[in-house]
């Protein structure tokens, strides 16, 4: 079989399509990176050439190939304090705004989805305990959900590799973890503080009970969904949020590809999306 | 005060939807002053096919984008004739947001939209023809390229052709070559058409 | 270098406008709809916007209304659309546009407007 290669025009065509779908724009300098991955997928899907592969990418009803490719084109690792600027935004901007307008003493509710193996939800918990003075005045509930029960078991268990905790300051690592052979075990107080639940975001029955959240973290999930599922997920979140609640997406994700339901808000630390405070008319 | 777990684990079976959920009361709810009530009604009306007409007329009046989105989703799920005709009528609306929402909804309905596509592409209103080409952008249908070719060969309106050329650069095969050259020759005085046809031709010949 | 944000859902139109403006010495950025344009405007200042009307998720009018309500540098905006009715022009100006061009634009037509709005890019 002749080696597959991507022409300049094919690269341009793909670049425009991928940008339209995901909001990720590759510079020409990324040509080699993009070509390699395209060639790999063309070969693995036995498409033979770019043209056949591109047609599959655009028209496959399940959107599975686009998801595969997006996975390859984005680095999706999870570790403690990943995209820390959002946690800074949480404690410096979002929570002060929420407590400033809150008229009762009910708990502030945070939903982190997908939970994956729990690093994000526990990072939020640590951040609140360490960097938010309001923790003395307010109750906070952290709920973290995933579709995968095996990964939820790992999250509840809370044991992590060195790699996973490498961005944590030494002080916090000592305070909240104990070393166990090759790994780090998160402390019971934190395990108690986060509720892990199984949810399929596209099942109405599953998401019905999720209401009245003040903040949702949904990072690096919707970018892998097809257009219809993104829209449905954005609506599910809308129903799960209080008026004025916030949603944080991953750093390579843009609400411009998902939904028009939310207001774009700029805070010093990050761009965040907000459900309108007052529902129109 | 601290990090706490949810106090109660009640699976919330009774949520905000207080109204009995039969089709008639849902139709009444669709006129409720509270947008939240209208949203829920529009969502639950998915099980009431006879409600598509009411949803279509509500859609034209509805000012709340979150309610419009649910109505459009419900109409897309229904996908019946009344729903599709209702979506087509939105393309003629003066409201830009509604028009674009309808375009996005129709992209999700290849089987329902395909039979009326020729009619849309021949509509007397050039704006509607542009929107029809916009729908083709994500419509999963084997005839997309041949529809686009017919647009650039026959549509008298420059901007309708221009919109079609943009898409042909992405989906066009060698079958589009001659029609693109003909369009280019027809509009030698229009720099944009020269640029767009050259770009599409380059992408097709390289591909 | 003056920075211009092109907001249009059609890739060919973005590329066409980009080439014209880059050739005249401007730095060009792109967005496919009003929401992305708003996200980018909140992250970095632009000197000018070139905005289409019909776009998914958030259209050109909606974008300008949102932009004009933000507490950021308010750069001028040229609306560029296929719609040629007087009512479209009126809506565009009401939403916060400063000029209106009907598609397809000729390069010199676009450049004249751009220079009127933000001045020469190259002396």
Q: Is C84 on the interface with B (CB under 8 A)?
A: no
Q: Where are the domains of chain B?
A: 22-108, 112-207
CB-nearest to A264 from C30, C32, C38 is C38
- CATH no. of B112-207: 1.25.10.10
Q: What is the DSSP string of chain C?
A: --EEEEE-S-HHHHHHHHHHHHHTT-EEEEESSHHHHHHHHHHS--SEEEE-S--SSS-HHHHHHHHHHSSS----EEEEES---HHHHHHHHHHT-SEEEESSPPHHHHHHHHHHHH--S--
Please, which pLDDT band fits residue B7 given cuts at 50, 70 and 90? low
| The pLDDT of residue B206 | 74
Please, which pLDDT band fits residue A102 given cuts at 50, 70 and 90? very high
More confident residue, A228 or B70: B70
What is the tens place of the pLDDT at every residue in C41-96?
999 999 999 999 999 999 999 999 999 999 999 999 999 998 878 888 899 999 99
Q: Are residues A120 and A226 in the same domain?
A: yes
Task: Give the structural domain span for A251.
Answer: 84-158+187-275
Q: Of A52, A73, A94, which residue is a domain's last?
A: A73
Q: Are residues A116 and A57 in the same domain?
A: no
Average pLDDT, chain B: 91
- C5 neighbors C118 (Cβ within 8 angstroms): no
Residue A15 marked in a binding site? no
Architecture, CATH, for domain B22-108: Alpha Horseshoe (1.25)
Mean pLDDT value across residues A67-71: 89
Q: Are residues A109 and A65 in the same domain?
A: no
| Number of structural domains found in chain A | 2
Instruction: Give the separation between CA B188 and CA B184, rounded to whole angstroms.
Output: 6
| The pLDDT of residue B63 | 93
| The pLDDT of residue B14 | 47
Is the pLDDT at B10 greater than 70? The verdict is no
Is the pLDDT at B164 greater than 50? The verdict is yes
Structure tokens at A168: 């944590």
Residue A76 marked in a binding site? yes
Cα B199 to chain center, whole Å?
A: 27
Please, which pLDDT band fits residue B20 given cuts at 50, 70 and 90? low
| The pLDDT of residue C87 | 84
Mean pLDDT value across residues A130-138: 96
Architecture, CATH, for domain C3-118: 3-Layer(aba) Sandwich (3.40)
Q: Where are the domains of chain C?
A: 3-118
Is the pLDDT at C121 greater than 70? The verdict is no
CA atoms within 13 A on the CB side of B131: 31
Is residue A150 in a domain?
A: yes
| The pLDDT of residue A62 | 81
Query: Of all residues in chain A, what percent carry a pLDDT higher than 70?
Result: 98
| The pLDDT of residue A204 | 82
Q: Of A33, A51, A73, which residue is a domain's last?
A: A73
Of the listed ranges A69-83, A140-154, A156-170, the one predicted with least confidence: A69-83
| The pLDDT of residue A216 | 98
- C105 neighbors C18 (Cβ within 8 angstroms): no
Residues of A in contact with B2 (CB under 8 A): 135, 139-140, 193
CB-nearest to A9 from B15, B70, B207 is B207
Is the pLDDT at B92 greater than 80? The verdict is yes
Q: Is C10 on the interface with A (CB under 8 A)?
A: no
Q: Is C107 on the interface with B (CB under 8 A)?
A: yes
| The pLDDT of residue B199 | 97
Q: Of A39, A73, A107, which residue is a domain's last?
A: A73
Mean pLDDT value across residues B96-119: 94
Please, which pLDDT band fits residue C10 given cuts at 50, 70 and 90? very high
Q: Are residues A122 and A12 in the same domain?
A: no
Mean pLDDT value across residues B155-160: 97
Q: Are residues A110 and A47 in the same domain?
A: no
Q: Which of C35, C63, C70, C73 to mutate to test the interface with A (most CBs of A within 10 A)?
A: C35
Is the pLDDT at A144 greater than 60? The verdict is yes
What is the tens place of the pLDDT at every residue in C15-29?
999 999 999 999 999
Is the pLDDT at B16 greater than 80? The verdict is no
Give burial (CB, 10 Å; 0-12/13-18/19+) of A103.
exposed
Structure tokens at A240: 């799960």
Please, which pLDDT band fits residue C119 given cuts at 50, 70 and 90? confident
| The pLDDT of residue A145 | 97
Is residue A3 in a domain?
A: no
Average pLDDT, chain A: 93
Query: Of all residues in chain B, what percent carry a pLDDT higher than 90?
Result: 81
Average pLDDT, chain C: 94
Residues of C in contact with A257 (CB under 8 A): 36
Please identify among residues 21-40 of chain B the ones whose CB lies closer than 8 Å to any CB of chain A. Answer: 34-36, 39
Complex-level ipTM: 0.94
What is the tens place of the pLDDT at every residue in A187-222?
999 999 999 999 999 888 899 899 999 999 999 999
- A252 neighbors A74 (Cβ within 8 angstroms): yes
Q: Are residues A30 and A130 in the same domain?
A: no
- Contact criterion met (CB < 8 Å) for A256 and C42: no
């Amino acid at each position: 079989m002749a080696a597959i290669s991507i022409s300049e025009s094919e690269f341009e065509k793909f670049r425009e399509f991928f940008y339209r779908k995901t909001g990720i724009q590759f510079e020409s300098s990324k040509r080699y990176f993009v070509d390699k991955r395209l060639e790999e997928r063309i070969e693995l899907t036995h498409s033979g050439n770019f043209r056949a592969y591109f047609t599959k990418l655009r028209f496959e009803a399940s959107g599975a190939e686009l998801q595969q490719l997006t996975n390859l084109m984005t680095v999706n690792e999870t570790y403690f304090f990943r995209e820390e600027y959002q946690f800074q935004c949480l404690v410096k901007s979002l929570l002060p705004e929420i407590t400033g307008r809150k008229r009762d003493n009910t708990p502030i509710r945070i939903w982190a989805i997908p939970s994956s193996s729990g690093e994000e939800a526990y990072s939020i918990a640590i951040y609140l305990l360490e960097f938010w003075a309001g923790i003395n005045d307010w109750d906070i509930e952290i709920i973290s959900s995933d579709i995968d029960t095996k990964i939820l078991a790992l999250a509840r268990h809370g044991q992590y590799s060195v790699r996973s905790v490498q961005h944590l300051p030494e002080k916090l690592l000592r305070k909240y973890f104990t070393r166990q052979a090759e790994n780090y075990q998160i402390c019971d107080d934190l395990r108690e503080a986060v509720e892990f639940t199984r949810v399929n975001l596209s099942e109405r029955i599953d998401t019905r009970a999720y209401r009245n959240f003040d903040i949702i973290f949904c990072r690096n999930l919707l970018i892998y969904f097809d257009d219809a599922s993104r829209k449905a997920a954005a609506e599910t979140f809308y129903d799960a949020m209080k008026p004025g609640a916030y949603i944080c997406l991953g750093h390579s994700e843009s609400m411009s590809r998902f939904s028009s339901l939310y207001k774009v808000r700029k805070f010093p630390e990050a761009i965040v999306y907000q459900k309108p405070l007052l529902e129109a008319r | 005060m601290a990090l706490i777990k949810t106090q109660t684990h009640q699976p919330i079976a009774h949520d905000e939807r207080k109204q009995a959920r039969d089709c008639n009361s849902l139709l009444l709810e669709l006129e409720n002053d509270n947008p939240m009530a209208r949203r829920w009604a529009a969502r639950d009306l998915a099980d009431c096919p006879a409600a598509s007409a009411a949803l279509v007329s509500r859609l034209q009046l509805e000012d709340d984008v979150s309610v419009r989105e649910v109505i459009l989703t419900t109409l897309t799920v229904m996908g019946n004739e009344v729903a599709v005709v209702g979506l087509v009528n939105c393309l003629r609306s003066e409201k830009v947001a509604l028009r674009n929402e309808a375009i996005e909804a129709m992209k999700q309905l290849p089987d329902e939209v395909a039979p009326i596509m020729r009619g849309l592409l021949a509509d007397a209103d050039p704006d509607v023809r542009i929107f029809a080409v916009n729908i083709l952008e994500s419509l999963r249908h084997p005839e997309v390229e041949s529809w686009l070719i017919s647009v650039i060969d026959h549509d008298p309106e420059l901007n309708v052709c221009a919109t079609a050329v943009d898409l042909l650069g992405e989906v066009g095969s060698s079958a589009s070559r001659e029609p693109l050259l003909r369009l280019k020759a027809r509009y030698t005085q229009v720099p944009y058409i020269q640029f767009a046809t050259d770009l599409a031709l380059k992408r097709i010949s390289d591909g | 270098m003056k920075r211009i944000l092109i907001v249009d859902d059609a890739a060919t139109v973005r590329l066409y406008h980009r080439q014209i403006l880059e050739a005249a010495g401007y730095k060009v950025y792109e967005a496919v709809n009003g929401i992305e344009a708003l996200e980018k405007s909140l992250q970095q200042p632009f000197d000018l916007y070139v905005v289409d009307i019909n776009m998914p998720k958030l259209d050109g009018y909606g974008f300008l209304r949102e932009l004009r309500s933000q507490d950021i540098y308010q750069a001028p905006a040229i609306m560029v659309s296929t719609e040629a009715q007087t009512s479209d022009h009126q809506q565009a100006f009401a939403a916060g546009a400063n000029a209106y061009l009907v598609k397809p634009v000729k390069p010199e037509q676009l450049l004249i407007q751009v220079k009127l709005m933000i001045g020469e890019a190259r002396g």
